């Protein structure tokens, strides 16, 4: 298989985990390049469900090498839990997991800082996952008080660094939030354990990936979050703290985009969002609740109910354009069954102006009114459909309408959460 990047085109939770798991069958290496344990990627195989936060979704395939690139912020406690969870199910990562020495480390004080900041913001909070993502990336950008995976190689130096960090953080936490002081003695013993248990996985992953490319191995790059949560191109400030679109791939693992032939964008047949921020096609009504119930739209990481809305072609086209996306995987077509009418947002009206180009500015976006195309729905259950031609005519019509709006082929169509419930058209 060619090198391929899978990325969410909406606000996350599009079904990337499932798509990556399917494509991983034909890949030698699967790479996570951004985000951290804020991600929740579900893979369902038969009756077994796997929820992964840091390990690439390809890790469930025993023959696949798994890379956690330099762009990821690694919470070692979560990673160790995940490795143990797979080990309990007889899936070993020994010899096939590689963590970048340059990846930054999320420690407990990052999660504390995330929580303290969100609490202090009150009604203006972002609605983060409180996984310490923003504070860890902020330390990375700030450089002087950051911890990287390579630091686990020299515990004496790490302890000295933590002393400096704790002094610095305590000044900030005390002044801004009147929080009780954090202590090196509460942090360092955990780090010693992380070093012991994860040390053998830490390597120069950029070197590893370029060796693999030279050997003509096929590499699958797994995006986390979604393009509209991208720090630079998403709905700032209601975004995550990394480049969650496909643009984050190259800096997040050191492989340039021209080495990737397929950029697959994942969407749902509708749209969801977790956390705060504008959402033009949101259905804050009984249709939204119907989709939430039928699609089990509750967060994989935090369990929060996801906000639901119609498919928004303005959103998808923007993410396709900035991300260089050439094909689309659309999940959850089955979830729309039972609705009399379906709508697709084809343009926005902002004031007196109509536009099909997504305004990422949160103020303008919050003024956008959707202009919809209405299509007839269907009642039939899709969960056992294996071929496109066996879909009800109105479901085929819906897929054709989406393709028409976004001018890209829908090469995978999801009709249920299981690995096998996917119509592959390529
Ligand atoms: P990710 O973050 O993009 O990997 O997506 P999540 O795993 O957070 O959320 C997607 C949810 O939808 C998971 O519970 C999946 O098991 C489920 N899912 C994926 N594809 C389909 C589909 O085609 N139909 C249905 N009904 N569920 C799906
Ligand atoms: P996957 O990979 C959906 C959202 C949070 C919040 C904002 C910032 O499963 O698609 P953060 O904790 O990153 O600082 O939170 O981003 N968010 C996600 N929403 N899916 C995700 O990941 C998300 N990761 C972060 O809800 O609105
Ligand atoms: Mg998710």
SS3 per residue for 32-97: ECCECCCCCEEEEECCEEEEECCCCHHHHCCCCEEEECCCEEECHHHHHHHHHHHHHCCCCCCCCE
Counting residues of the chain whose pLDDT is more than 90, the rounded percentage is: 97
pLDDT, position 301: 76
Q: What is the pLDDT of residue 415?
A: 98
296 CA → ligand 1 middle, Å: 9
Prior bond of 237 cis (ω within 30°): yes
Determine whether the shortest distance from the Cβ of 13 to ligand 1 is under 6 A: yes
Instruction: Report the separation in Å between the CA atom of 101 and the middle of ligand 1, taken as the mean of its atom positions.
Output: 31
Ligand 2 within 6 A of CB of 74: no
Query: Which ligand is in closest contact with the Cα of 227?
Result: 2
- What's the confidence (pLDDT) of residue 426? 74
pLDDT of residue 303: 85
Distance CA 149, CA 169 (A): 20
The residue from 21, 41, 75, 151 that is catalytic is 41
Active site residue 186: no
Taking 70 as the pLDDT cut, the residues of the chain under it are none
Q: What is the rounded distance in angstroms from the CA atom of residue 377 to the CA atom of residue 338?
A: 7
13 annotated active-site: yes
- CA 97 → CA 41, 78, 89, 100, 243, distances in Å? 18, 15, 17, 10, 23
* pLDDT recorded at residue 117: 97
- Is pTM beyond 0.85? Reply is yes
């Amino acid at each position: 298989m060619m090198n391929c990047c899978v990325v969410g085109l909406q606000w996350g939770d599009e079904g990337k985990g499932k798509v990556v798991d399917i494509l991983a069958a034909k890949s030698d290496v699967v790479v996570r390049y951004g985000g951290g344990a804020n991600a929740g990627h579900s893979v369902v195989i038969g009756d077994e469900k796997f929820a992964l936060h840091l390990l690439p979704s390809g890790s469930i395939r025993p023959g696949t090498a798994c890379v956690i690139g330099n762009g990821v912020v690694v919470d070692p406690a979560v990673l160790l839990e995940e490795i143990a969870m797979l080990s309990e199910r007889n899936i070993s990562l020994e010899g096939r997991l590689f963590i970048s020495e340059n990846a930054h480390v999320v420690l407990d004080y990052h999660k504390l800082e995330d929580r303290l900041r969100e609490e202090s913001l009150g009604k203006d909070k972002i609605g983060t996952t409180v996984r310490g993502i923003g504070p860890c990336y902020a330390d990375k950008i700030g450089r002087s008080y950051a911890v990287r995976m390579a630091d686990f190689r020299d515990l004496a130096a790490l302890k000295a660094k933590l002393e400096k960090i704790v002094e610095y953080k305590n000044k900030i936490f005390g002044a801004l939030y009147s929080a009780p002081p954090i202590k090196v003695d509460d942090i360092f013993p955990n780090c010693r354990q992380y070093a012991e248990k994860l040390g053998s996985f830490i390597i120069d992953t950029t070197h590893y990936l370029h060796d693999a490319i030279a050997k003509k191995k096929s590499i699958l790059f797994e995006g986390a979050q979604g393009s509209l949560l991208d720090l630079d191109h998403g709905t700032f400030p209601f975004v995550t703290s990394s480049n969650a679109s496909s643009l984050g791939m190259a800096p997040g693992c050191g492989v340039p985009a021209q080495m990737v032939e397929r950029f697959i964008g994942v969407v749902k047949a509708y749209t969801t969002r977790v956390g705060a921020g504008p959402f033009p096609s949101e259905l804050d009504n009984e249709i939204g609740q119907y989709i939430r119930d039928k699609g089990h739209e509750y967060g994989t990481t935090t369990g929060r109910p996801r906000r639901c809305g119609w498919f928004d072609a303005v959103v998808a086209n923007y993410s396709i354009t900035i991300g260089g996306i050439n094909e689309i995987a659309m999940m959850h077509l089955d979830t729309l069954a039972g609705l009399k009418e379906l709508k697709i947002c084809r343009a926005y009206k902002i004031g007196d102006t109509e536009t099909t180009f997504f305004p990422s500015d949160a103020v303008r976006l919050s003024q956008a009114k959707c202009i919809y195309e209405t299509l007839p729905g269907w009642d039939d259950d899709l969960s056992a459909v294996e071929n496109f031609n066996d879909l009800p005519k109105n479901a085929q019509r819906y897929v054709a309408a989406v393709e028409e709006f976004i001018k890209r082929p829908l090469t995978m169509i999801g009709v249920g959460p299981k690995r096998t419930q996917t119509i592959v058209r390529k």
